Amino acid sequence: MARVDLGLAPFRVLAALLAAATLLGTPQPSAAAGNELALTPDQVKQLDIKLTDVRVATKSLVATLPATIIPPLNTRIAITAPFAGTVVAVKVLPGQTVHQGEPLVVLASRDVMEAMVRLRQAEAELQAAEAIARRQRELFQKNLVSTSKVAEADAQVEKIRALVSESRRLLAIGDIKLNADGGYSLTAPKDGRVVEIKAAPGAALQAMDAALVVDTSRELWLQAQLPGNMVGAVAVGDRIELPNGDAGKVISVGIALDPLTRSTTLLAQIPASPEHISGQSTSITIVKVPAQQQFEIDADAISFIGGKAHVFVETKGGFTPTPVVVKGRTATVATVEGDLQQGQRLAISGLAQLEKMMSGE
């Protein structure tokens, strides 16, 4: 019997039928009208896609910057020794609260003793000069001396009085307290807290050396570097927020850029808190009143497709990629503008798989 060669055509038809049956049995994701990515609930579960809500923005995030807590200008005071001497005793500790006029450091000083001696000598000479001047005026009234003698005596009084005044001012520098043994004590100029003690008992201090540092205000500032391209977006008075929920305001924005960092200095004021310590590193988020049609979303919902920000909005049949404009963001939250509505649901996981589906992979 002759053999009939049917060729490969029947097998190809069979393979095509089997492939069609497979596709019908397992729905595959496809780009539907309006760029919708069609996904069944089972496929959403398999891709482990989690969702978040679109919220109307209550604030517009401008930027998040690293910052350092610093004391306000002119509230941290270095208390200096106006006379050279040796530290006899330190009466306070770092962090201790002090009150105006309270003795802080006691010094023994030959310089202050010599200044006190000069003051006493000048005071004695002033008394003698004043007596001579009175005598010259009495003699003048009796026509026994000329006016030049009276003028000369008065000039000598004024000269010595100036020396006395200068000696007293010298001994009053820094509101020091003179001790009976000839030494002196440095006192607190205002109420405050001791930040640092630079002198120890037995140490020698030269004139105008700092003995300790005191903060006279509990107010704190924050210092951050603002990138040059954001200078116009931030203004004095803008609100700033810290990670712990505390808030403050911008009090200064520099007008010159550092040639190396291409940034300028931003200063903000924050309330006193036990959680905040001068020198501590933190971060600040600058916020403004939001414009209309701005929304707040989780930062994880943003995907960059073709270099542009998108979010995947949940629909009845899957997800629709929607372009947005990011106005500001932190590590967790972003403020965006776009064709969104409050209450819509966005994908915050499985974004890489959704992007592949868009490209047909």
DSSP 131-187: HHHHHHHHHHHTTSS-HHHHHHHHHHHHHHHHHHHHHHHHHTGGG-EE-TTS-EEEE
Q: What angle do CA 136, 141, 143 make, to 5 degrees?
A: 90
The fold for domain 63-74+218-288 equals: Elongation Factor Tu (Ef-tu); domain 3 (2.40.30)
* pLDDT value of residue 361: 62
Sign of the C-alpha dihedral, residues 168, 172, 178, 183?
A: negative
Please name which of 273, 274, 279 lies closest in space to residue 195, comparing C-alpha atoms.
279
Residue 12 is predicted with a pLDDT of 46
Q: Quote the DSSP letter at residue 264.
A: E
| Predicted pLDDT at 360 | 66
Low-confidence ranges of the chain (pLDDT < 70): 1-34, 360-361
Report the distance separating Cα 283 and Cα 292, nearest Å: 27
Closest CA to 295 of 255, 220, 353, 346: 346
Range 100-133 burial, b when 16+ CB lie within 10 A, else e? eeebbbbbbbebbbebbebbeebeebbeebbebb
Which CATH class name applies to 76-215? mainly beta
Q: Can you tell me the distance from the alpha carbon of 335 to that of 352, in angstroms, rounded to the nearest whole number?
A: 22
**Range 28-58+292-358: architecture per CATH:** Beta Barrel (2.40)
- CATH 2.40.420.20 range(s) for the chain read 28-58+292-358
List every span in the chain annotated with CATH 2.40.30.170: 63-74+218-288
pTM above 0.75, yes or no: no
Rounded to whole angstroms, what are the CA distances from 141 to 138, 156, 286?
5, 20, 81
pLDDT score, position 177:
93
pLDDT at 248: 93
Q: What is the pLDDT of residue 60?
A: 83
In the chain, residues under CATH classification 2.40.50.100 are: 76-215
pLDDT tens digits for range 271-317: 888 888 889 999 999 998 887 788 999 999 999 988 899 999 999 88
pLDDT for the residue numbered 352: 87
DSSP character at residue 58: S
